[in-house]
């Protein structure tokens, strides 16, 4: 694991973020999830500055492995029900945060992003947060307008390691897409 350790003030708008982190720690302790990391827009906020988002993306591995082709998140939903957390479509409302759980074992980029996550001290918790270069690769792969905007934000702020990013893009066959889409987020 090549994670970076950061000390950070909690830039998030909710006082309940520590409660969510406590729930994630409990889910790991009782064997529902294994390694996990914050991704998506909240990871961008933690690395840089506030942007608009309605949810918290948790990329994770299920603790209980299965040979089935379709993964079951039933233990997560059972835990949520037992703890009286409500559901809103694909989200679980945990202490006011809409949390989306994204099982990552089927995607090598996501798997690596979790294993190499930066560790940030947030409200007394060592929190794994997907690193900036992996976020950029994940956003490039998703290819939505809002994802290109986040890449642009990181590029403009000079937050991407210009030696690490090309290596990640090459390993996951994203260099060509980067070059093709760079007009969206690089100054020409």
Q: With a cut of 90, say whether residue 8 has pLDDT above it.
A: no
Residue spans per domain, the chain: 5-131
**pLDDT tens, residue by residue, 30-80:** 999 999 999 999 999 999 877 778 889 999 999 988 777 788 899 999 999
Q: With a cut of 60, say whether residue 97 has pLDDT above it.
A: yes
- Looking from the CA of 147 toward its CB, the CA atoms found within 13 Å total 16
Rg (CA), the chain: 17
H or E element, residue 40: helix 40-47
Identify which has the larger pLDDT, 105 or 13: 105
Q: How far apart are CA 81 and CA 178, in angstroms?
A: 42
105 exposed, middle or buried (CB, 10 Å; 0-12, 13-18, 19+)? Answer: middle
In the prediction, which pLDDT does 10 show?
44
Residue 15: pLDDT band with limits 50, 70, 90: low
**pLDDT tens, residue by residue, 108-161:** 999 999 999 999 999 889 999 999 999 999 999 999 999 999 999 999 999 999
- Dihedral (CA of 25, 39, 167, 62) sign: positive
The model carries a pTM of 0.88
**Does domain 5-131 match CATH 3.30.460?**
yes
Which range is least confidently modeled, 24-28, 66-70, 81-85, 118-122?
66-70
Q: How far apart are CA 188 and CA 184, in angstroms?
A: 10
Q: How far apart are CA 89 and CA 118, in angstroms?
A: 29
Q: Looking at the chain, which runs of residues are DSSP E strands?
A: 5-7, 33-39, 56-62, 86-88, 91-94, 97-103, 118-122, 125-129
In the prediction, which pLDDT does 123 show?
86
């Amino acid at each position: 694991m090549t994670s970076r350790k950061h000390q950070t003030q909690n830039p998030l708008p909710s006082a309940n973020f520590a409660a969510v982190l406590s729930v994630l720690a409990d889910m790991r302790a009782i064997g529902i999830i294994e390694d996990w990391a914050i991704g998506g827009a909240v990871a961008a906020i933690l690395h840089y500055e506030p942007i608009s988002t309605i949810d918290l993306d948790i990329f994770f591995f299920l603790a209980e492995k299965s040979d089935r082709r379709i993964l079951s998140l039933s233990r997560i939903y059972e835990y949520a029900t037992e703890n009286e957390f409500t559901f809103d479509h694909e989200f679980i409302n945990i202490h006011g945060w809409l949390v989306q759980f994204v099982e990552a074992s089927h995607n090598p980029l996501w798997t690596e992003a979790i294993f190499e996550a930066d560790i940030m001290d947030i409200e007394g918790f060592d929190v794994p947060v997907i690193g900036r270069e992996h976020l950029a690769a994940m956003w490039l792969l998703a290819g939505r307008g809002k994802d290109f905007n986040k890449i642009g934000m990181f590029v403009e702020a000079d937050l991407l390691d210009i030696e690490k990013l090309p290596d990640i893009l090459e390993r996951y066959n994203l260099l060509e897409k980067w070059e093709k889409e760079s007009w969206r987020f690089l100054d020409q």
